[in-house]
Structure 1
Amino acid sequence: MLSSVRRGKITMLELLFILMLLFSGPTLSKLSRTKGKHWKGGSRLRQEDFPPRIVEHPSDVIVSKGEPTTLNCKAEGRPTPTIEWYKDGERVETDKDDPRSHRMLLPSGSLFFLRIVHGRRSKPDEGSYVCVARNYLGEAVSRNASLEVACE
């Protein structure tokens, strides 16, 4: 092949080989989209991934015993971050951990209390809460929000 290139001539077979190399990769017109992020053929055509950031922080709340309430938290990131809640530094158990729990993690990332539990000796819902958003690029922590139970 080198000898024919040096002479300035390319055989039909060599030309065919070069064209096959140039056009053998996947082309966008021949590919079909799958699940919005990947193209068949192995090429990735998607926006850049980025670490989580909190776009809605929880706010302090005062609520009566036995009443429902919600602590809001919303995060952005790519891939979509997972949300976990912590009360006074300890991870909060939700219905995903225990189906009998009175706390639910909503799809938005907010923490919903079916009813506020508060007793004379035990105050399991009262405290300082933060939400933590995580993906493989990092984590973001919300501001603290206090949940207080109103005196009866």
Structure 2
Amino acid sequence: MHGTPSPLTTTTVTLTDQGQDPDLCNPTAIREEIRLPGTSRSMGSTLAGQGPPHFSKLLSSPTVMEGSPVTLEVEVTGFPEPTLTWFKNGEKLTNDEHIELSQKEGKHALFIQKVTETDAGLYVCRAVNSSGTLSSSAALQVNASNNRCPDPNCPLLKLNWHTCFGTLCFLLYLLYLLLL
């Protein structure tokens, strides 16, 4: 019975004695590398427990209208898995009734259902593991809503050319009646 070859191949590089073959390089360390077949990607550093945080998707700086939702997202890798902390203008953020922080498979998000002007500022996502620390930042800009009404259900008068023309005709008719 023949076994099937493993999908991973192992290469061991060892020190050579000086003077053996002048065309060969003389490595200064012993290292073991594991490569996936068909790729040049090495997994040696990950298996050795090394892997500082790396953002595969950085924060972007959105501009949103007041009252609309916004999501700030990052994707981070590293070994051991990095711990993420969110900050707004230097203050640490936590889950509350206004801000929702979530994480799933290296994807981290900060979600605000209804943005207010006070949400504008500099947001920083800091990833930390035993191999290092890395941050990504974004400036959230909030455009104020011009249609302010104390009651969110109040009807707003929308002006268009029909409304203006009708109002003008009505006022001219009243002026006509007044002058008769």
Q: Same fold (TM over 0.5)?
A: yes
Residue number in structure 2 paired with 1:61: 62
Aligned to 2:135: 141
Q: How many angstroms apart in 2 are the aligned matches of 1:136 and 1:114?
A: 34
Q: How does 1:2-151 map to 2 (within 5 A)?
A: 47-49=47-49, 50-93=51-94, 95=95, 98=96, 101-107=97-103, 108-118=107-117, 123=118, 125-142=119-136, 144-151=137-144
- CA-CA distance at 1:146 after TM superposition: 0.8
The structure with the largest alpha-carbon Rg is 2
Give the unaligned 5+ runs of structure 2: 1-45, 146-180
Structure 1 residue 83: Cα displacement: 1.1
Q: CA deviation at 1:85?
A: 1.0
TM-score scaled by length of structure 2 = 0.49
Instruction: Report the Cα offset of residue 88 of structure 1.
Output: 1.3
Q: Which amino acid in 2 is paired with 1:147?
A: L
Q: Which amino acid aligns with 2:127?
A: A
- Whole-angstrom CA distance in 1 between matches of 2:87 and 2:133: 14
SS of corresponding position for 2:47: coil
Looking at structure 2, the residues matched to 54 and 63 of structure 1 have their Cα atoms a distance apart, in angstroms, of: 24
Alignment RMSD, CA only?
1.6
Counterpart AA for 1:59? S
- For residues 79-113 of structure 1, give each alpha carbon's deviation from its aligned partner in whole angstroms, at most 9, with x where no partner exists: 111111111122122x2xx4xx3211121212111
Instruction: Number of aligned residue pairs: give it.
Output: 96
* Alpha-carbon displacement from aligned partner over 1:7-32 (angstroms, at most 9, x marks no partner): xxxxxxxxxxxxxxxxxxxxxxxxxx
Tell me: higher relative CO, structure 1 or 2? Use CA pairs within 8 A at least 6 residues apart: 1
Residue 48 of structure 1 deviates from its aligned partner by 2.5
Give how far 1:117 is off.
Answer: 2.6
1:58 positional shift: 0.7
The gaps in structure 1 that reach 5 residues or longer are 1-45
Aligned pair in 2 of structure 1 residues 48, 113: CA closer, same or farther (>3 Å)?
farther
Query: How many Å separate the matches in 2 of 1:79 and 1:58?
Result: 22
Moved over 3 A (4+): none
The percent identity for this pair of structures is 34
Residue 29 of structure 2 corresponds to none
